[in-house]
Structure formats: C-alpha cells, structure tokens
Structure 1
Amino acid sequence: MKRYAALTLAFVLATSPAAAERLITSLSSHQVLVSSSFTGTELVLFGAIERDSATVSRKGGYDIIVTVSGPREALVVRRKDRVVGIWTNAESNTFLDAPTYLAVLSNKPLDEIAPAEMLRRLDIGMNVVPRMHVAAGIESGEETFRDALIRLRKERHLYIEDPAGVTFITPTLFRATIRLPAESPVGIYDVDVRLFADNTNLARASSALEVVKVGIEQFIVTAARDHGILYGLFTTLMALMTGWFASIVFRRD
C-alpha cells in the first residue's frame, strides 16, 4: 500500500506542470477613507513577475490583466417608453449579484491576450457582470438590459475598461492605476491580477482594499443601522423642533 501511494505521488509530481512564474503584487493603500469632501482617488498597484530556473522563454512577452470588483448587490435597470406623449418607466430587470464597481485594466486589448472563451471561463472582463435571461428576449433598441447596465455604469465611471491601464516598467515589473470615483460604494473590493503569455494563464495573485466612510456620515449611517428606533425618534423630534422654531421666527403678529 505504501509503495502504491509513493508511486502515485511520484506520478502526480512528474505529470503536474511546474510553476515557472510567480506574481508578487502590492497596493499603495488597502483602505480608502470617504468623507463629505471626498472627490475620488487613485490607488497604484505595483507588481513583479518572479521567474525561476525552470522558466521557459516567452517569445511574445508577458501580459497582465487586473480586475477590481466592488461589493455586489441588486442593481435595477429600467426601460423608458413614451405613453400618451409622456416618458414613463416600462419594463425593468434586476441583476441580483452585480458588482457595484468594476475596473478591468490590461496592457493591451483583452482579445489580444487570450481567447474569448478562456476569458469567459476565468470571469475576466465585463463577463463578471451576471447575465440575465430576459423575459421574451426584451431589448431596448439594440441593447439588452445587461448592455444598458454596463453602459450606464461606465458613464458614471463605476465600470471601467482600460486596455492601456497596465504599464510595464521593465519586462518583469509593472504598475496599474486604480481610479475610484466620488460615488464609489462602501465595502470590500477584490483585486485580482492574472499573468498571461502565449494565450496561457500562468499565474494569479489576489488582494483586497476597503472603502469606508468616516466623520459625521459614518456616525449617521451607524446610528441608523444599529439604533433604528432611536434614530427614527430623534429625526422626528428634530423635524418637529425645526417646524416649531420656523413658526416662531416667521410668525406674523
């Protein structure tokens, strides 16, 4: 039995591909503080490709794809129709597990790095956005609801595709700039870095960053979440006092 186990282990080790490259990455900051004056920020991701003696020559060089995915939540997309001359909401679809923020950064267009099927399998690119089976194939013009979701989030700079977002400083050192807009959602963001060469995914490195509110905004959010009844009573009392004070100030005798 022991001999059989040893032979099996030797066979697995002999047939398993050696990891010739390894990714080492670091973020300039793992926490972003959001206050009332927050107008957005930029984080820098630095990375290095570590090679060992078994590394084969990569004729086409290396490629990097960085995917930054924000907290997931339900996002609703509505289609407007003109009814009796008035624009009103018609059909809608809810994406139950969509990233609120998504940045896909690379050193060249994705289709030049890997085949589309591989990118879909690895959840790279806008493939991270869940696909919906829209009832009866409803479309808004030439766009499906999913296309509309991606377009609208891009307009708000919450979805980003940048084929020049990764820059190689040397053949094995690179950097990428992660831009977070002013309305970046609060929560944990996953940072996924993948190394490619010759249409093959060679290595992967993962990390995370956190966007948190600070100051009076965080106090209000925490109070509303943790002490809902007291918060409601306090805001109601404040509204009554404000109305009473206004009636005194602007009273006409």
Structure 2
Amino acid sequence: MRFGLALLLCLLAAGPAGAETLVASLSTSQVRITSNYTGSQIVVFGAIERDAQTVARAGPYQVVVTVRGPRQAVTVREKSRTGPVWINGPQQKFVQIPAYLGVFASAPIADIATPGQRGRLRIGLQASVNAPDITMDRGTEDDRFREALARLKIKELLFIEDERGTTFLTPSLFRTPVPLPVTAPPGDYEVDVTLFADGVLLARAGTSFEVIKTGFEQRLAEFSTEWAALYGLGTAAVALLFGWLATVIFRRD
C-alpha cells in the first residue's frame, strides 16, 4: 500500500511529458485607415519552443495561420431572369460570418490535417464556409449558397487561402505575411495559429490586432452614427448641390 502511494507521488511530481510550445507575435497590433489608404499588410511571426523532454518528430513541423475579421450577417440571393427583368429568387442568410478570412499554411492543408481536424478547428475556407452554425442547415439545398458566398468573398479579396503563405525561416521559426485589402472593414481581427506534425495537433496560439479609421474618416464615421438624421440630410443636400452645378456648367444655350 505504501509502495503504491509512493509511486503515485513520484508520478505526480514528475509532471506532464514535455511537448512543444507555440509563441506568436505580430509586426503591429493596429492598422490605421487614412484618407490615402490603399491596403496594408501585417506579418505574423512564430516560434516553436521545445524542452529537454520533447519527443522527436518523424516529420517536419507544419503551421496554419487563420485570420478572422469582425463578424457580420450576409444574405446571399439567387436571381432568376424573367424576360428582360432579373428578379430575386431563393435566398440564404449567413450569421456570424467573418468579414475577412485569411488562411495561410506551410503546406497543402489536406496534407497537414485530417478532414475531421479541419472541420473541428475551422481550418481552411471550405471548413469555415461549411460550418453548420453559420446558417440554417437545409442539407444539399444550401450548398450553392455557401459556394456563392465563398466565390463572392474571394472575388472581393476578403477570403484568401494560400497553402504556401507561411514560410519557415529555421526549423522552429516562421513568418506569415497577411495582406489586408482596401475593402477590409474596421474592427477586431483574431489570429489563430495551429502547429501540426505527423498529422497530430501539437499546439495552438492566438493573438489579435485591430483595424481602425483615423482622421477625417473616423470623425465622419462617428458623425454618421451619432447624428444619422443630419448626416442623411447633409448627404442629400450635397448631392442636390452638385447636380445643380452640373446643370449650370454643362448647360447649352
């Protein structure tokens, strides 16, 4: 009895087996949108730390960096043509979909994680768009709406998947450039970094940054929110003024 208790105490004192630790940092924690903003880029840096008890891995490390922008609701409508007129047909509403979604891997995602891991961890555009909680599940009927959502976002450069977007500088140091197009909305952006080896998830780390408007753009945004009625009247007045000036300038006698 005493021997068993002593063995248990020794095992507890030994602690858990050593494993990799993942550390992630950003080149900047804030991206500012000014009047001459044409897009930007941040860089995710990462380091894999090992201790003396970390077991050797048969294959190299693989990393997937996922950047998710502020959540939004999006409605995808299917249009049909009736004679010369296009009318709205069936539609599907997506809730809590990232306004920006970037996936940057060190190798093809299918070679890094299993389908179950990709679905559970939301790794890859397909896994994120096909997640069951972003829209009402109607079986195969909503497949075309999910595909249309991904296609439109990719066209707007707001959904990106780059299977060579993460580069290892050394066997334990990596960097990931993250492009932010001019259409990237302001808000908080989450960065999720996952570390794999031999098809096994070893570690996970997270960080974040924000995109904010500054200067005149910020003041205008605040005014349009706090004084919506005045902002609307002012916009209409400016439109009428420019319309009148156009008629005066281009008027033919």
TM-score normalized by structure 1?
0.84
Once structures 1 and 2 are overlaid, which stretch shifts more, 117-126 or 153-162?
Answer: 117-126
Matched residue type, 1:176: T
For the residue of structure 1 that corresponds to 2:146, the secondary structure is helix
Instruction: Return closer, same or farther for 1:245/1:70 CA change in 2, 3 Å cut-off.
Output: same
1:36 corresponding residue in structure 2: 35
Pair 1:112-2:115 in alignment: no
1:197 corresponding residue in structure 2: 197
Aligned equivalents of 1:60, 1:71: Cα separation in 2? 35
Matched residue type, 1:93: Q
1:245 Cα deviation (Å)? 7.9
C-alpha contact (below 8 Å) 1:93/1:134 kept by paired residues: no
User: Aligned ranges for residues 1-253 of structure 1 at < 5 Å?
Assistant: 13=12, 17-126=16-125, 127-129=127-129, 130-131=131-132, 132-133=135-136, 135=138, 137-138=140-141, 144-232=144-232, 234-235=234-235, 242=241, 246=245
Instruction: Return closer, same or farther for 1:116/1:11 CA change in 2, 3 Å cut-off.
Output: farther
C-alpha contact (below 8 Å) 1:69/1:190 kept by paired residues: yes
1:246 Cα deviation (Å)? 5.0
1:57 Cα deviation (Å)? 0.6
1:122 Cα deviation (Å)? 1.5
C-alpha contact (below 8 Å) 1:192/1:204 kept by paired residues: yes
For the residue of structure 2 that corresponds to 1:194, the secondary structure is strand
* 1:5-53 deviation line (CA, Å, top 9, x unaligned): x99x969958985351111111111111112321111111111101000
**Structure 1, unaligned stretches of length 5 or more?**
1-5
Instruction: Return closer, same or farther for 1:228/1:54 CA change in 2, 3 Å cut-off.
Output: same
1:232 Cα deviation (Å)? 4.4
* 1:100-151 deviation line (CA, Å, top 9, x unaligned): 1000110001110111101111122122334434557436xxx510111011
Aligned equivalents of 1:12, 1:227: Cα separation in 2? 65
Aligned equivalents of 2:223, 2:122: Cα separation in 1? 37
For the residue of structure 1 that corresponds to 2:17, the secondary structure is coil
For the residue of structure 1 that corresponds to 2:23, the secondary structure is strand
For the residue of structure 1 that corresponds to 2:43, the secondary structure is strand
1:3 corresponding residue in structure 2: none
Matched residue type, 1:88: I
Once structures 1 and 2 are overlaid, which stretch shifts more, 130-139 or 33-42?
Answer: 130-139
C-alpha contact (below 8 Å) 2:18/2:52 kept by paired residues: no
Matched residue type, 2:109: L
Matched residue type, 2:178: I
C-alpha contact (below 8 Å) 1:64/1:166 kept by paired residues: yes
Aligned equivalents of 1:110, 1:78: Cα separation in 2? 30
Once structures 1 and 2 are overlaid, which stretch shifts more, 115-124 or 18-27?
Answer: 18-27
* 1:161-208 deviation line (CA, Å, top 9, x unaligned): 110000011110111110101100110000010111111111111100
Matched residue type, 2:152: L
Once structures 1 and 2 are overlaid, which stretch shifts more, 156-165 or 209-218?
Answer: 209-218
Aligned equivalents of 2:205, 2:242: Cα separation in 1? 57
Q: CA RMSD in A?
A: 3.1
For the residue of structure 2 that corresponds to 1:111, the secondary structure is helix
Matched residue type, 2:156: R
1:227 Cα deviation (Å)? 2.9
Instruction: Return closer, same or farther for 1:202/1:17 CA change in 2, 3 Å cut-off.
Output: farther
For the residue of structure 2 that corresponds to 1:223, the secondary structure is helix
Aligned equivalents of 1:72, 1:117: Cα separation in 2? 24
**% identical aligned pairs:** 44
* 1:190-248 deviation line (CA, Å, top 9, x unaligned): 001011111111111110010111122211110121233444455566667x389859x
C-alpha contact (below 8 Å) 2:63/2:193 kept by paired residues: yes
1:70 Cα deviation (Å)? 0.3
Provide the aligned length of Structure 1 versus Structure 2.
243
For the residue of structure 2 that corresponds to 1:144, the secondary structure is helix
